[in-house]
Amino acid sequence: EVQLVESGGGLVQPGGSLRLSCAASGFTFSGHAMTWVRQAPGKGLEWVSTISGNADNTYYAESAKGRFTISRDNSKRTLYLQMNSLRAEDTALYYCAKDFRLGHDYWGQGTLVTVSS
Amino acid sequence: QSALTQPPSASGSPGQSVTISCTGTSSDIGTYNYVSWYQQHPGKVPKLMISEVTKRPSGVPDRFSGSKSGNTASLTVSGLQGEDEADYYCSSYAGGRVVFGGGTKLTVL
């Protein structure tokens, strides 16, 4: 059974940093691109970032470029999102999701990030 | 403003069919056959309903179907059931990024 479990969310002040993690199981982790998608309270889905299976390629939404860094440790089957210079508009539920172009067939339950003073 | 345009709401009676549109551009839907549709019930995780324009993942009822013409993709739900009431989001690969629609709230009357 595929499982994706996010952690690392919380309350942070504007300008602060957080590192999100997503522990994966039930599939060949290194064989799949992994993606972060976020959803602000009461709003729609927004793609944030994707990393290829071997970590050679990374992709970012304009809103994340220069502030967020996606990475993965295939030996630990874990996906990360380092978020710096956080803003109020980054407040959202952050989901990790399996795959990229073909659609996201598995999603985690999400971890809530709140940016507020 | 979302990259893909969806109607904010749609509705139909039980047993009827409803189609939700998703309009993009020649940089996303118009170029790539990587359109996906997601169903999200309140407080729940999005669920993939359609991938690659027309493919239904295992376990998705065949009442759900997808299509594409030019820069517009569509999701059709036939034989509406109460459990279909949810938010629906389209997405498309757009060359090194993914774009989502703003979502459509489907109400079963």
User: Between B93, B97, B103, which is nearest A44 by CB?
Assistant: B103
Query: Which residues of B fall within a CB distance of 8 Å from A46?
Result: 100
Tell me, what's the pLDDT at A103?
92
CB contact under 8 A, A95 and B45: yes
Over 70: is that where the pLDDT of B56 sits? yes
- Give the span between the Cα atoms of B17 and A54, in whole angstroms: 43
Distance from CA of B27 to the nearest CA of A (A): 14
Query: Which residues of B fall within a CB distance of 8 Å from A50?
Result: 98
Distance from CA of B79 to the nearest CA of A (A): 24
pLDDT tens digits, one per residue of A21-36 = 999 999 999 999 999 9
Collapsing DSSP states into helix, strand and coil, what is residue A98? strand
CB contact under 8 A, B34 and A35: no
Tell me, what's the pLDDT at B74?
98
Nearest in space to A93 (alpha carbons), one of A105, A82, A109: A109
Query: Which residues of A fall within a CB distance of 8 Å from B89?
Result: 44-45
Do A21 and A44 meet the contact criterion of CB atoms below 8 Å apart? no
CB contact under 8 A, B34 and A102: yes
Q: Is A103 within 8 Å of chain B by CB? A: yes
CB pairs under 8 A between A and B: 58
Over 60: is that where the pLDDT of A79 sits? yes
pLDDT class of A78 with cuts at 50, 70, 90? very high
Nearest in space to A36 (alpha carbons), one of A15, A18, A51, A25: A51
CB contact under 8 A, A45 and B89: yes
pLDDT tens digits, one per residue of B59-70 = 999 999 999 999
16-35 of A, contacting B, C-beta below 8 A: 35
Tell me, what's the pLDDT at B79?
96
pLDDT class of B1 with cuts at 50, 70, 90? low
- Give the span between the Cα atoms of B49 and A103, in whole angstroms: 10
Q: Tokens at residue B3, please?
A: 């990259």
Going by C-beta distance under 8 Å and a sequence separation of 6 or more, which residues neighbour residue A89? Answer: A40, A63, A115
CB contact under 8 A, B98 and A35: yes
Q: Is B99 within 8 Å of chain A by CB? A: yes
> In this prediction, what percent of chain B has a pLDDT beyond 90?
97
Q: Tokens at residue A33, please?
A: 């691109």
Tell me, what's the pLDDT at B3?
85
Over 90: is that where the pLDDT of B2 sits? no
